[in-house]
Structure 1
């Protein structure tokens, strides 16, 4: 018999690890599933924002003179802003948007303001994934804790399965339902472990940065978090001077950057303290071959390079901190990498869902079945899934903000409650999958009926086709099945 590469484990350690794994799974699975699903969808947040925003023009290039004129116009529209933001187009993001602290606008290649950038469902999605729609300071810490627990569950799950490498490709689809669910859970867990640790770990680091920074500042910088931030990211470039001054130098800074560092690939231009003597221009350059978010170049209004951020060649801690976002969301490697992250995210969602399926099936085998809890879990899984396209559809009809948040949580609870009281786990899963598919179709159809579909825009066409195809597949499966209400008692359909 082949010798396992995994270290031999005592039965006590396996039982202890499995027990810890199960308890953590029961505590966090419901909200963790929502975080995983929203994160999987958020991989395409830029594309979805564009799809949701009606009439956004495609822009491939913007001249420095247009950038300068845009900055002047934004300051006229938002004179109280302390920063101006401009996002010129780049290869995988052919748009031009700009604005201040009080609003961002969509522009064409000539710098004409087309409309205010409004993507209420995309905003809701980010609020859900980053903060679980809680107050930001609390929500981001809670989500980060979920990330820590997810990494812990991955480690405890590996320790609980000493033959995990030998069985990496073992997948039983027939026989006991629990064994089939366990194989699905374990195989996907193994295959997605590097992805899970990278994504959950970076999410935890992003969310807990404020807490860690506070503690570190207390022990190393006399409690001054500003000094800590300056030690990592650098301090203020110019001393504050609120004396009014015309906004100038954006075009000069961009021209000089292109001359001095032609490979910089600017994708964000931020003007700090615009309209004052202390204003300066910070430009983010896209480091296409690195994970860091970008290198920064700060210019004065007369075109002098004041500072470089050294995000690409500075201290290791700084480079790691600047790499968290792209590693977490797969925002590197273009559309292919995003697609890989999306597929791995789906697998992670299945792992979370099947974790409790296994628990319920074990209870059945021991004669302690909990059919109401099974139905509740099935209703939550597919009910919350259905609420994503349902809220997308109503947002396209004009609903936004807190209404989307309330609708998502109340709708998910109602789905789960209905399943608990009136349905079996299997029938709830099948019925709610049909609703999920129908909602995907409705979202894509409402978008088409609004009449602002740009058929020359590959991003919009791809998303619409994907919604129609996925929704159609789910609805077709439901129509072909005759098991809406009568299902075998040994089958759990939550996952």
Structure 2
């Protein structure tokens, strides 16, 4: 590699790193508690446990669960219905004043056996909510998500340029060598490079999946335009329904259409994952991989008949696969600790890189430029 090429790559690495470093530090710091979000919610007392009761009968119908949620929050409409893999005997229904609301959400957790309300976990408040919003969109909605996606893209560029520069830099050094005797500056540089190459693969995966996740809202909108519009074409000019068919019957129709799959979640009419005329019943597999890949089944919300069912397109599959990779929540507690250690090492890489730039920048500041500030400070 020529000196000119090295200087070009060094310039790319320097500025792509500098622009995104502060925001990457924020994402790493907020991402650390998000790795252990379930455990922190338990510790904070937000977790709602399933009561230990004897129940030998059938599970409560979906209609009774829905009726209970509506009674609990009159004036609210249901948005989504889902359950946590850790609590198979619970169903949660998210609700809001309107189906297109961006705030004011409520969550009703119910016993799947008895349809009794177990509690309403806090929504849009608390430490973990603040951490989550900072990590996802900086409290700025879609513009914030896209901005963080851009920062993630710059991180990927910084990593690639760092790889290109690493080989010639380490040509005369052993792998992982830290020159303790050559001064603080070289020591910090060697630590930065060593930890950077150690966390390379992880940082690249997390950065790339973060970029994909930042586009999630736009990917869903494109899916609505591309696939959903085809599925609901016969309903295009029809008015929204005023009466709705049985949710339980609609679920049974979906299960009959996809007998080898199980229920993942339900999107109620008017929400982003369905139309105003349909229950969006999203089925999934039961293996560690397929349980994260959904297949939408659209059921006519007026007469509980099947309208359409088709696999998700590749871009939504990529989004669904990227989410567990980003947070490391697919391999149990052991993987979470690995993700946490790599996250901390990445914070050190970012911090040492920022300090290296700051030290170098101060070396090149003109002496005269500091005099007015110093004079003003002591006068």
- Find the aligned partners of 2:40 and 2:262 in 1 and give their Cα distance: 24
> How many aligned positions are there?
344
Correspondence for 1:18: 10
Correspondence for 1:121: 127
SS at match of 2:153: helix
Q: Deviations over 1:304-363 (max 9, x none)?
A: 55433413xxx4344324433233223433434333322222222121111122334556
Which residues in structure 2 correspond to 1:71-470 (within 5 Å)? 71-78=66-73, 81=76, 83-91=78-86, 96-101=91-96, 102-109=105-112, 110-118=114-122, 120-133=126-139, 135-163=140-168, 169-172=175-178, 174-175=180-181, 176-208=183-215, 229-232=224-227, 235=230, 237=232, 239=235, 241-246=239-244, 248-250=246-248, 253=251, 257=255, 261-262=259-260, 264-272=261-269, 278-285=277-284, 288-290=287-289, 293-298=292-297, 300=299, 304-311=305-312, 315-362=313-360
Query: Is the CA contact 2:23–2:148 (under 8 Å) kept in the aligned structure 1?
Result: no
Query: Is the CA contact 2:268–2:278 (under 8 Å) kept in the aligned structure 1?
Result: yes
Structure 1's 288 and 173: CA in aligned 2 closer, same or farther, altered over 3 A?
Answer: farther
- Find the aligned partners of 1:113 and 1:170 in 2 and give their Cα distance: 56
SS at match of 1:145: helix
Cα shift at 1:40: 3.0
- Find the aligned partners of 2:276 and 2:353 in 1 and give their Cα distance: 59
- Find the aligned partners of 2:356 and 2:276 in 1 and give their Cα distance: 64
TM-score computed with the length of structure 2 as normaliser: 0.74
Structure 1's 64 and 201: CA in aligned 2 closer, same or farther, altered over 3 A?
Answer: same
Structure 1's 280 and 97: CA in aligned 2 closer, same or farther, altered over 3 A?
Answer: closer
Root-mean-square deviation (CA), in Å? 4.0
Query: Is the CA contact 1:292–1:322 (under 8 Å) kept in the aligned structure 2?
Result: no
- Find the aligned partners of 1:91 and 1:318 in 2 and give their Cα distance: 24
SS at match of 1:111: coil
Structure 1's 55 and 197: CA in aligned 2 closer, same or farther, altered over 3 A?
Answer: closer
TM-score computed with the length of structure 1 as normaliser: 0.58
SS at match of 1:190: helix
- Find the aligned partners of 2:295 and 2:16 in 1 and give their Cα distance: 41
Whichever structure has more strand as a proportion of its residues is 2
User: Which of 10, 26, 34 is the matching residue for 2:26?
Assistant: 34
SS at match of 1:107: strand
> Which stretches in structure 2 are left out of the alignment for 5+ residues?
97-104, 368-376
- Find the aligned partners of 1:48 and 1:123 in 2 and give their Cα distance: 12
Structure 1's 252 and 140: CA in aligned 2 closer, same or farther, altered over 3 A?
Answer: closer
Q: Deviations over 1:415-469 (max 9, x none)?
A: xxxxxx9xxxxxxxxxxxxxxxxxxxxxxxxxxxxxxxxxxxxxxxxxxxxxxxx
- Find the aligned partners of 2:228 and 2:277 in 1 and give their Cα distance: 19
